[in-house]
Structure 1
Amino acid sequence: MRARLKDVAERAGVSIKTVSNVVNGHPHVSAATRERVQAAIAELSYRPNLSARNLRSGRSGVVALAVPDLDNPYFAELATHVISAAGQRGWTVLVDQTQGDPDKERLVVGGSRSHLIDGLLFSPLALAQRAPSAATARLRLKGYRQALAACGLAADPSLIAHAPAWHRTGGAEAMAALLGADAPDAVFCFNDALALGALRTLLSRGYRVPQDVMVMGFDDIEDGRFATPSLSTVSPGKALIAESAVSLLADRLAGATGEPREVRVPHRLTPRESSLSGAFP
C-alpha cells in the first residue's frame, strides 16, 4: 500500500502537521526534526498526492524559472540546482529563457502566465541593466578596480576589453583585442565562458598559460574543471543561491510578508592550473 502522511508521522514520531510542514518546505521546523522526517519519507518511499494537495490549497504546484540564456553553462547549472531544490518541496519547475530581450523580460514579470504558476524565480539581464547597482558586469568591474587599487595599481582603460555577449566567442575576440605588442600578465574574465574563449585565443597565439598569461574566470562551471589547463575561477555557490531563492519563494507562498530581503551567499576562490605559476615545468 502507498505510504500516507500518517504513516510518516508515526515512523518519525512527530505530528502529521509537522510532516506536512516539512513536505511543503515551511521554514519553522528544527533541523533535527526535519532530518528525522526526511529519513522516514525515504524509508517509506512516501510521495505526496500532489493533485489532492493542489486542489485543497488552490495551488498548481508549478513555479517558473526565467533566465537569460540556457546556452550559458552557468544558467544551465543554476537551473539544475533550482529544479533539485524545488523538487524537495514537490514543485515542478517551468524553465524559460528571455535571451536578455527587454520585451520578453517584461512579459515574464507582467504575469502573462500567472494562471499556470504559483510563483516566479527571475534572473533579469536587460531590465537589470537599467539599474546600474544591480548589473553584474558593473559589480565585477568595480571589484576588478578595487582589487587593483588594493595592490597600489591604477586601472588602465586600454586593458579593459568589452565583449558584447558573455559567451566563448566574445571571450576569444576580447582576448585577441588585448594582445598588442605586449600581452597582459593576467586576465580576469567576468564569467567562465569568456575565460574559456580567452584561453583558446592565448593558446592558439602561442602563449603559455599560466607562465606567460594567467587567466581567471567567475562562476565555477563544470567545463572549467576539464579545460587544458584547468580554469581558475570564483565559485559563487550556485546550489546555495538556488536553495535560498526557492526558500524565499516558499516563504512568500506560505504568506510571509514584509520588506524585500537581500540574501548573500558565501563565495570562494578556486585556484586551478590557469593561474598557478608552478603548475607546469
Structure 2
Amino acid sequence: MKIEDIANLTGVSKSAVSLALNGKPGVSSETRERILQVSEQLGYTSRKRSGSAKDAAPGTITFLVFASSGLVEDHYYQQPFFRELLHHIEERCRNRGYTLRFATASADSILSDARHFESDQSSEGVIVLGTNLNRSQAADVLRTLGPHVVVLDNCFDTVDASFVQINNMLGAYQAGEHLYELGHRQIGYIASDARIHNFDERRNGFIYALKERGIEIGEERTFVVAPTILSSQESLKTQLADYLRNGGVMPTALFCECDYIAISAIKTLSELGYRVPEQVSVVGFDNIAEAQVVTPELTTVHVEKERLAHLAVDLLVDNLKQERSVRLKVTVDTRLVVRQSSAPTANETE
C-alpha cells in the first residue's frame, strides 16, 4: 500500500496524505481524520504519527503554537512569514538528526493545554512559537513545560528561559531613519489592531528614530487595521477620510508594522487615487516573498528568518545533548531592503 493509493481512496493529493500521516499542518482536521482512518484500515504504517508517545520517533522535537484570534491563528502556517520560518526549522532539525512534529494549543487555555502537552512526553524538547504570548503567559508555559524549551519570536528579560527574537526596535529605527533621509516629515503610522510584543517594540523603535530627529507622530496620524489582510481595507479608507476631513494633511510616508499591512495599505491608497511612491511612500516589516510581487515592490525591513530558525533549533539541541543549565537570550539584527515603494518627497521642507 502506497501513499498514492491512500490519496486515490480519500480523494486528496499525495502531499495532503503525507502531511496528515506525518502530523504536519496544512490539512483540515476532518481530512486528516479521514486519511488516518483509511490508512489504518489498509494497514499502512507511516514513519511518524503525531499525538502519542509510542508513535513519536526517537530524536523528536515539537514545534508548539498557542493559537489565538488576531495574528497567530490555527492556520498560521499559511501565512508567508511563519511558512518560511517553519521550512527552515524543519530543515535544521533534519540536519541535526531530529524529526519535527507540530502541535497547536489554545492561547485561551494555556495552562491546561501546556500541562496536557507536558504529560504526553512524546518529544525530547520543544520550540514554542511565542509571537502572541505576553510575559505572564510565557512564564506559565515555560514553568509547565520544563527545562528543554526555547521560545522563538519573542523575549522577556525577566523570564528565566531561552529566547530567540528579532531586533524589532532596530528594524523600525532603520525604517524611520530611511524615511527621514528621503526628506519626509509628514509621516504616518499604520498599526495592527492585534497587539503583540513585536509590534510594540517596532512602534518604540520607529518613534525613537523620528524623535531623535525632532519629529513626533501624533495620534491623529496613527491608523489601525487588521494585520493579516492582503487586500485593501475599508477601515483604513474611513480613518484616512476622517483624518483629512478634520483638517489633517495627507502623510507623504507611511510605516506599517508588518508587510501584510503595508501591502494592504498600497492597495487601499491605489483605490483612493494616491500613487505610491510618488505621493505616498510605504515601508513594511518582515520581507515576506509577497513584498516583491506587489506593485510597486515593497521597501521593507528584512528579518533573518533562516538564522532565527537555526538558532532556535541549535540552542535546543545543544541543551538536550549537553544538559546545559544556562539560559540564553539571542537577538538577531535586521537590515533595510529598499525597493520601489519609497522615494524622496518632492514637496516638503524642514
TM-score by length of 2: 0.56
Which has the higher mean CA deviation after the structures are superposed, 80-89 or 64-73?
A: 64-73
Change (3 A) 1:126 1:118: same
Report the number of matched residues.
220
Q: Which one of the candidate residues 127, 133, 151 is aligned to 1:127?
A: 133
Code of the aligned partner of 2:330: V
Runs of 5+ unmatched residues, structure 2 = 1-46, 49-55, 66-71, 138-153, 157-196, 346-350
Q: How does 1:149-188 map to 2 (within 5 A)?
A: 149-163=211-225, 165-168=226-229, 172-173=233-234, 175-176=236-237, 177-179=239-241, 180-181=243-244, 182-188=249-255
1:112 and 2:112 equivalent? Answer: no
Preserved CA contact (<8 Å) 2:230 2:263: no
Instruction: Specify the SS of the correspondent of 1:162.
Output: strand
Q: CA deviation at 1:255?
A: 2.9
Counterpart of 1:36 in structure 2 is none
Percentage of pairs with the same residue:
28
Change (3 A) 1:130 1:272: farther
Instruction: Specify the SS of the correspondent of 1:167.
Output: coil
Runs of 5+ unmatched residues, structure 1 = 1-49, 52-57
TM-score by length of 1: 0.69
Code of the aligned partner of 2:229: R
Instruction: Specify the SS of the correspondent of 2:78.
Output: coil
Instruction: Specify the SS of the correspondent of 1:233.
Output: strand
Q: Greater strand share, 1 or 2?
A: 2
Partner Cα distance (1:276, 1:154) in 2:
21
Partner Cα distance (2:339, 2:209) in 1:
20
Partner Cα distance (1:129, 1:166) in 2:
21
Which has the higher mean CA deviation after the structures are superposed, 199-208 or 252-261?
A: 252-261
Counterpart of 1:218 in structure 2 is 285
Q: Which one of the candidate residues 94, 97, 100 is aligned to 1:93?
A: 100
Offset from partner CA, 1:145-165 (integer Å, 9 cap, x none): 1011022111211112223x4
1:83 and 2:90 equivalent? Answer: yes
Preserved CA contact (<8 Å) 1:174 1:198: no
Q: CA deviation at 1:129?
A: 6.2
Preserved CA contact (<8 Å) 1:187 1:213: yes
Which has the higher mean CA deviation after the structures are superposed, 258-267 or 200-209?
A: 258-267
Code of the aligned partner of 1:121: I
Of structures 1 and 2, the one scoring higher in RCO (CA 8 A, sep 6+) is 2
Code of the aligned partner of 2:233: A
